[in-house]
Structure formats: C-alpha cells, structure tokens
C-alpha cells in the first residue's frame, strides 16, 4: 500500500500558518498525511478521546509535534515580551 506524501498546503490546513523554515523542516521528514493528522490531533489536545488506549507519539508524528510545539512556544514567548 502506498502512502501519499504531504504538501505544504496539508501542513497549513492542519496547523495553520507556520513560518517557511518550520514547514520545510516538517516536509524534510517526508511525512504521510496520516502522520500529520496524528500530530495535529495531539497538538489540538485531542489525545483524551482515545482514553486508556492512548499511546505516546513516535516516529515522524512525534517529530512533527515537537516542531509545531517549538513554534507555539516561541510565539507565546514573543507575546509575553510585548
């Protein structure tokens, strides 16, 4: 079974606008759309719907989540400085 690779528009659709270097960093991972969707669900706090079956992120989904969280942390820090 072949998995479709993600595009910049997929990233923008799931995570909103990200700086170009962050989107490029995600694209360098060659993530599948499913990996993006899992990372987006975790970023949106939707892990609670899985209940006891929740598993930690791994692989590309974990890396994507880290990139997005890093971007959000930087934005929050900038907002506090203003």
Label each residue of 51-75 as H, E or C: HHHCCCCCHHHHHHHHHHHHHHHHH
Determine how many CB atoms are found less than 10 A away from the CB of residue 43.
17
- Structure confidence by residue, pLDDT tens digits, 27-80: 999 999 999 999 999 888 865 555 544 578 899 999 999 999 887 777 777 777
Q: pTM of the predicted model, to two decimals?
A: 0.76
* Average pLDDT over every residue of 5-26: 92
From the centroid of its chain, how far is CA 62?
Answer: 8
Distance CA 28, CA 11 (A): 12
Using the 8-state DSSP alphabet, how is residue 46 labeled? Answer: G
Q: Is the pLDDT of residue 2 over 60?
A: no
pLDDT at 1 over 60: no
Q: What is the pLDDT of residue 80?
A: 75
Are the C-beta atoms of 36 and 60 separated by less than 8 Å? no
Residue 64 CA, chain-centre distance (Å), reads 4
């Amino acid at each position: 079974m072949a998995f479709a690779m993600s595009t910049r528009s997929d990233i923008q659709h799931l995570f909103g606008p990200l700086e170009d270097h962050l989107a490029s960093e995600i694209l360098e991972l060659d993530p599948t759309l499913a990996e993006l969707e899992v990372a987006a669900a975790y970023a949106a706090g939707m892990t609670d719907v899985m209940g006891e079956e929740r598993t930690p992120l791994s692989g590309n989904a974990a890396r994507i989540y880290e990139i997005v969280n890093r971007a959000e942390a930087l934005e929050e820090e900038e907002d506090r400085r203003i």
